[in-house]
């Protein structure tokens, strides 16, 4: 009895207005945090502000009247504090272990999974509201009324978007981690199948909202069948949407799925009437959409083309037309050093190969040696280099590469003809001249870093294989290009070591 009285007194001492004020503070911190994430020098403080905002929001939940009243329950399954602290503890352990063990090369697929978990969490929130029992122990009615119209529509949309995000992200994770093929999977009638799936999902939503359209049947039962049909169909839709997308488009897909996870969270906020969840979800959704549009623009493609074109499904054969049609020419580390030693301007163009080799630190070391030798050094970053948005920026920031040396594609391209050497480290599609010369290429029209315009191009690759998208690269057989085969980290270390022999 004493515990109940204390809980009730504490609940009375923390009115809803104070809880909402805490949520407003959280939202403001989220906004400032995202703003500061836009620059390398302020990103750390931006991350801290966002984390602080989330901490305040979580603490505010503990003082919610409904949660506090559950403290005195005799049924541990109904104890809100037990679930809150239990979830935090479990998530903290899993997150800490996972973050400790994941390699930098595994970050793209980890981000993809996080997007999926966000969608799944929103789906479960909406589902729990659907199966929730009232104070009398009876199922809560979901009959559509003027009072609950927003929450009921949001409930179904949360499930629809959350399910698509979950399975789509899991599939993206599989492609990024190469547990399944990164090539697009296309079959005859795929567009028709996708259209039918969308129609079934929307039809189930109409039946859920208006169960009276089914004349024979209990409305509650009809709603239940419609909702679970929507869940199954949406889970399938997530697979069918991502399946035809090739590996070369995975950075954009991750950005799009991130936006969907935020949108699902915002919808869940309407379902449970939580303001901070609505605002946070909208921020994530909006920023994800903006980033997706920016990346699509960088590839000179529309979102519709991204989702339905099957990028990389067929090899354009463009490499057969490159240069004189000769095989790529290899060069030794010693000969490459002689060129670099005389170079006055060098630009590094990193790609996923740098992440695989964990070469960012030795790249920074070589860049320092080149600068000591009198060369001007820059790093050219393509918006979709790597396998997640900002992948190369994260790696180079980890190696303490000065921010002013990081040049965007638009900044570096006018300077490329004046560069003595361009060093391509594991990049492929983002430096492929076929994007500008071969109309039959799947990447035709995509803006690239014009490495081919440098006086000399060194391409660091493990072997003669194609890039992740499966497209041959004309750059490799041009007259001014030389290949340096082997592990990028070992190659860069060897080049740096040559400078040390002087």
Q: Please pick, among 218, 335, 429, 438, the residue that the annotation labels catalytic.
A: 429
CA distance 202 to 353: 42
Which two tokens mark 260?
């969907």
Task: Determine the pLDDT at residue 142.
Answer: 83
Which strand ranges, in their side-by-side order, compose the sheet holding 406-408?
A: 406-408, 376-381, 345-350, 421-425, 456-461, 481-485
Kindly state the percentage of the chain with pLDDT values over 70.
86
Q: Are 145 and 84 in contact (CB under 8 A)?
A: no
pLDDT in tens, the chain (502 residues): 444 444 444 444 577 788 888 989 999 999 999 888 877 678 888 989 999 999 998 888 888 776 676 666 566 666 667 777 888 899 889 888 888 888 766 777 888 888 899 999 999 999 988 988 777 777 788 888 888 889 899 999 999 999 999 999 999 888 887 788 767 777 777 788 888 999 999 999 999 999 888 887 788 889 999 999 999 999 999 998 888 877 667 778 888 898 999 999 999 999 988 888 898 899 889 888 888 888 777 777 777 666 665 544 444 444 444 444 567 888 998 999 999 999 999 999 998 888 888 888 999 999 999 999 999 999 999 888 877 777 888 888 888 888 888 888 889 999 999 999 999 998 888 888 888 887 777 777 788 899 999 999 999 987 665 555 557 788 888 989 999 988 888 999 999 888 866 5
Segments making up each domain of the chain, as ranges: 1-101, 107-313, 318-500
CATH 3.40.50.1220 is right for the domain spanning 318-500: yes
pTM, 2 dp = 0.78
Q: Are 450 and 434 in contact (CB under 8 A)?
A: no
429 part of the active site: yes
Which ranges constitute the DSSP H helices of 131-274? 149-176, 190-209, 219-242, 250-272
SS3 content of the chain, % helix, strand, coil (to 5): 65, 5, 30
Q: Are 288 and 256 in contact (CB under 8 A)?
A: yes
């Amino acid at each position: 009895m004493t515990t109940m009285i204390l809980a009730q007194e504490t609940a009375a001492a923390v009115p809803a207005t104070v809880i909402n004020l805490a949520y407003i503070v959280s939202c403001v911190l989220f906004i400032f945090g995202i703003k500061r994430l836009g620059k390398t020098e302020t990103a750390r403080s931006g991350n801290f502000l966002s984390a602080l905002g989330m901490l305040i929001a979580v603490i505010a939940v503990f003082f919610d009247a409904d949660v506090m009243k559950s403290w005195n329950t005799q049924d541990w399954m109904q104890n809100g504090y037990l679930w809150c602290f239990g979830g935090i503890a479990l998530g903290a352990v899993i997150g800490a272990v996972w973050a400790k063990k994941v390699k930098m090369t595994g970050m793209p697929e980890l981000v993809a999974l996080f997007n999926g978990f966000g969608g799944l969490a929103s789906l479960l929130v909406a589902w729990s509201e659907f199966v929730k029992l009232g104070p009398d122990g009876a199922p809560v009615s979901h009959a559509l009324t003027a009072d609950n119209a927003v929450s009921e529509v949001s409930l179904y949309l949360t499930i629809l978007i959350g399910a698509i995000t979950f399975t789509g992200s899991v599939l993206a994770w599989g492609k990024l981690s190469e547990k399944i093929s990164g090539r697009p999977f296309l079959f005859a009638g795929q567009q028709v199948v996708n259209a039918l799936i969308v129609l079934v999902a929307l039809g189930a939503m109409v039946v859920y909202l208006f169960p009276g359209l089914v004349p024979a049947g209990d409305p509650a039962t009809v709603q239940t069948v419609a909702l679970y049909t929507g869940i199954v169909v949406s889970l399938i839709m997530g697979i069918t949407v991502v399946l035809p997308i090739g590996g070369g488009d995975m950075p954009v897909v991750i950005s799009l799925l991130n936006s969907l996870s935020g949108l699902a969270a915002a919808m869940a906020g309407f379902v449970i009437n939580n303001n901070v969840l609505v605002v946070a979800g909208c921020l994530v959704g909006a920023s994800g959409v903006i980033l997706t549009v920016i990346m699509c623009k960088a590839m000179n493609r529309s979102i519709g083309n991204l989702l339905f074109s099957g990028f990389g499904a067929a090899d354009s054969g463009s490499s057969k037309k490159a240069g004189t049609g000769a095989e790529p020419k290899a060069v030794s580390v010693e000969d490459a050093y002689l060129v670099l030693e005389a170079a006055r301007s060098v630009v590094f163009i990193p790609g996923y190969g740098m992440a695989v080799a964990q070469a960012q630190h030795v790249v920074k070391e070589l860049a320092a040696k080149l600068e000591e030798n009198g060369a001007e050094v820059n790093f050219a970053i393509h918006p979709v280099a790597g396998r997640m948005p900002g992948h190369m920026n994260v790696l180079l920031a980890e190696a303490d590469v000065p921010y002013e040396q990081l040049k965007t594609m638009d900044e570096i391209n006018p300077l490329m003809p004046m560069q003595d050497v361009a060093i391509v480290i594991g990049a492929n599609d983002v430096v492929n001249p076929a994007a500008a010369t071969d109309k039959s290429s799947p990447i035709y029209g995509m803006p690239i870093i014009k490495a081919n315009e440098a006086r000399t191009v060194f391409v660091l690759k493990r072997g003669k294989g194609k890039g992740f998208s499966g497209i041959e690269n004309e750059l490799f057989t041009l007259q001014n290009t030389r290949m340096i085969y082997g592990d990028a980290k070992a190659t860069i270390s060897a080049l740096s070591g040559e400078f040390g022999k002087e």
